[in-house]
Amino acid sequence: MRKALFIFLLFAAILPGRSAFSETLPTAHRTLLFPSGTRIDAEVADTPQARSVGLMFRDSLAPGGGMLFIFQEAHPYLFWMKNCKFPIDIIWLNAQKEVIFISEKTPPCKADPCPNYGPLDKDALYVVEVASGFSEKEKLKLGAKIRF
C-alpha cells in the first residue's frame, strides 16, 4: 500500500505540469535500424522516471528522432498520451526485438480519463515512439525485426 501511495504521489508531482525534474532526466541515445534501412536516433527511457515522462510536454519530435523505452521484464505494457501535444506511432517489440503490436497515429489525450494503447495479450520488452505516420511510410509489419 505504501509503494502504491508513493507511486501515486510521484505521478501527481510530475504530471500536472513541466517540472525541473523532468527537464533534468538523462537522455542517452540509441540508433534504431528498421527493415527498410531507415535509421532513427532514439532517446532512451530506461528508468522509471524517464519512462513515466516519455514525450510529455514536448511541442514536437525531432525529424528522424524517437524514444526507445527499455523495460527490465517483458509484460503487456500499456501506454497513454496524457500531456502529449502531438500524435505518434507506438511500436511494441518482444525480447527478440520483433514488432508485436503497432498503434498508428495515436492521438494526444484531450480529456480524462485517457485511453490506454497496447497489446493486452503479448509481452513486450521494448516500446518505440516515432512520428505519426512512420509505420505506414515504412510499411512496418508484425514480426519485423528492429535492430539496435
Q: Looking at the domain assignment, is residue 18 inside a domain?
A: yes
Q: Looking at the domain assignment, is residue 35 inside a domain?
A: yes
Section 14-39 average pLDDT:
69
Residue, of 8 and 130, whose pLDDT is higher: 130
CATH of the domain at 50: 2.60.120.1140
Domain count of the fold of the chain? 1
Cβ-proximal residues to 131 (8 Å cutoff; 6+ apart), any chain? 61, 63, 65, 66, 88, 89
- Whole-model pTM: value is 0.82
Q: Looking at the domain assignment, is residue 147 inside a domain?
A: no
Q: Looking at the domain assignment, is residue 17 inside a domain?
A: yes
Q: Looking at the domain assignment, is residue 59 inside a domain?
A: yes
Instruction: Determine the Cα–Cα distance for residues 126 and 62; give it in Å rounded to an integer.
Output: 20
The per-residue pLDDT for range 52-104, each reduced to its tens digit, is 999 999 999 999 999 999 999 999 999 999 999 999 999 999 999 999 999 99
Q: Looking at the domain assignment, is residue 148 inside a domain?
A: no
pLDDT for position 27 = 72
Residue-number span of the structural domain to which 85 is assigned: 2-137
pLDDT for position 4 = 32
**Sign of CA pseudo-dihedral 18, 24, 26, 30:** positive
pLDDT for position 69 = 98
Strands 29-33 and 99-106: unpaired
Q: Looking at the domain assignment, is residue 144 inside a domain?
A: no
Q: Looking at the domain assignment, is residue 30 inside a domain?
A: yes
Mean pLDDT, the chain, rounded, equals 86
| For residue 11, pLDDT beyond 80 | no
Q: Is the bond preceding 113 in cis, omega lying within 30 degrees of 0? A: yes
Per DSSP, what are the bridge partners of residue 131? Answer: 88
Count the Cβ atoms, other than its own, within 10 Å of residue 67: 24
